[in-house]
Structure 1
Amino acid sequence: MKTLLKKAVPPSLKRYAAERKRSHARAALKRISARGVTVKTVIDVGASDGRWSLAAMDYFPDANYLLVEANPVHQPALETFCRVHAQAEYELAAASDKTGTLRFDGSVPFGGSADPENPETAIEVKAVRLDDFAAPNGPYEAPFFLKLDTHGHEVPILEGAENVLAKASLVVIEVYCYQLTPTSLLFDEMVAYMRAKGFGVVDMSDPLWRPQDKCFWQIDLYFEPLTMPYLQKNTYV
């Protein structure tokens, strides 16, 4: 019965309800897009089946979308997504700081990770640098909106995306309060890392707490270039 009721709710009402929740991703995207942030290409890394990009299209409808996903389980959904949305393309690969291949744990469809510690569940996948998609005469136009949902593999991806970051107007990264991998950054370290890259935090969404002990686990942080006037203002009002 609950499933039937959910299906009966029109998409516009679902969107309105989500935007009313201040910590929802849709609420953050609405606040940011209302400031007039210019986005020509959205690069969705860890795209899974395209659901995040689908929501982002409500706020950046004129942008092109590149969905990057390493887990082959999502390929049929991505093919359908890109067939339905003409402005979208997908790349079945893991983003990293090098091209070639790397090991990827795809045993959990919505929780995969690159260079996993457990080799028994790992598969070999194609590896790409995001900068290879950001060539000056390439098909993807700046400014870029870069999204990372990559479970501890953020630094290699960002190191392979120097040109993307140089032309990015917006970046959202899922950050964590715990050490997911030996080389991953904690959320405060990621804030410092991005600040050194020239970006400051402008918003947040989707905080998550661990179910067993109720400890704060992760959150999505939104970054914009420090050159933006509102990031140079140090007063509340």
Structure 2
Amino acid sequence: MTILKKLLRKAGLARTQNPAALEAALQRAAQRGTQVQTVIDIGASNGSWSKTARKFFPTAYCHLIEANSYHQPALATLKRSWEKIDFTVAAAGDSNGEIFFDGSDPFGGLASHDASRDSTAKVPVVTIDHIRSAHTLAPPFLLKLDTHGFEVPIFEGAKETLQETSLVVVETYNFKIAPASLRFHEICQYLEERGFRCVDICDPLFRPKDQALWQFDLFFEPASNSKFLDNTWS
């Protein structure tokens, strides 16, 4: 197992221990009046994130996207038990077709355009814009990415969807975990250039060997939102 995979696995296990932080951030989003008609959960694994989101956006439709077929039974069970839900077993990216994917860790999958020692198998890949069109998903959208450094290709495949997105939630890192990945401040710049500003943060994780900040979730809303015109504290 590579060092990156070990770190991602440890991070994934640690993050399941603090669901209250995510709930609090989603509650703040709902209290701000954020409108969500469809949740697009990218890197959905077994659907636990969408379960939490439904508590605060109970009328929203959920479309879950997960590359690792390991989770297909759990997603199928959710589809049978929920209303207003569907899922796609595929990676999300900047094109439709196939992509390399390392699915050896069910909760730490890594997509890549290029084959590597760990990413040798291929899985289907779809753009978010394709999913949106094929399933006639209705805006405004909440886009959630838990994709371990593969965020830019996903955003590039969601250009039309982002134009009607009210909330973006991205797992970001303080370290460059893959050759083409962006650190958290670069994600902020990338999304600001596309019309979004950071509005919230939750669930920081500190690596155990030196307590350095490792990762956290950032929440973004359209920069055109009137809240960003108010520079006062109270």
TM-score in terms of structure 1 length? 0.87
Provide the residue aligned with 2:3 in structure 1: none
Gaps of 5+ in 1: 1-16
Q: Distance in 1 between matches of 2:202 and 2:187?
A: 16
Provide the residue aligned with 1:171 in structure 2: 168
Q: Distance in 2 between matches of 1:215 and 1:117?
A: 31
Provide the residue aligned with 2:121 in structure 1: 123
> Is 1:97–1:157's contact at 8 Å kept on the other side of the alignment?
yes
> Is 1:177–1:216's contact at 8 Å kept on the other side of the alignment?
yes
Cα deviation for residue 133 of structure 1 reads 2.3
Q: Distance in 1 between matches of 2:125 and 2:19?
A: 35
Q: Does 1:162 align with 2:159?
A: yes
Among 149, 152, 165, which residue is 2:149 paired with?
152
Provide the residue aligned with 1:108 in structure 2: 105
Q: Distance in 1 between matches of 2:50 and 2:211?
A: 29
Amino acid at match of 2:84: Q
Amino acid at match of 2:99: L
SS in 1 for 2:230: coil
Provide the aligned C-alpha RMSD in A: 1.6
Report the CA distance shift for 1:138/1:105 in structure 2 as closer, same or farther (over 3 A).
closer
Gaps of 5+ in 2: 1-17
Cα deviation for residue 212 of structure 1 reads 1.8
> Is 2:111–2:119's contact at 8 Å kept on the other side of the alignment?
no
Q: Distance in 2 between matches of 1:60 and 1:227?
A: 22
Provide the residue aligned with 2:130 in structure 1: 132
Identical residues among aligned pairs (%) = 45
Q: Distance in 2 between matches of 1:94 and 1:134?
A: 14
Provide the residue aligned with 1:4 in structure 2: none
Which structure's CA Rg is the greater one? Answer: 1
Deviations 1:140-186 (A, max 9, x none): 10000000000000000000000110000000000001111111111
- What are the equivalent positions in structure 2 for 1:192-211 lying under 5 Å apart? 192-211=189-208
Q: Distance in 1 between matches of 2:122 and 2:203?
A: 31
SS in 2 for 1:67: strand
Report the number of matched residues.
Answer: 216
Provide the residue aligned with 2:36 in structure 1: 39
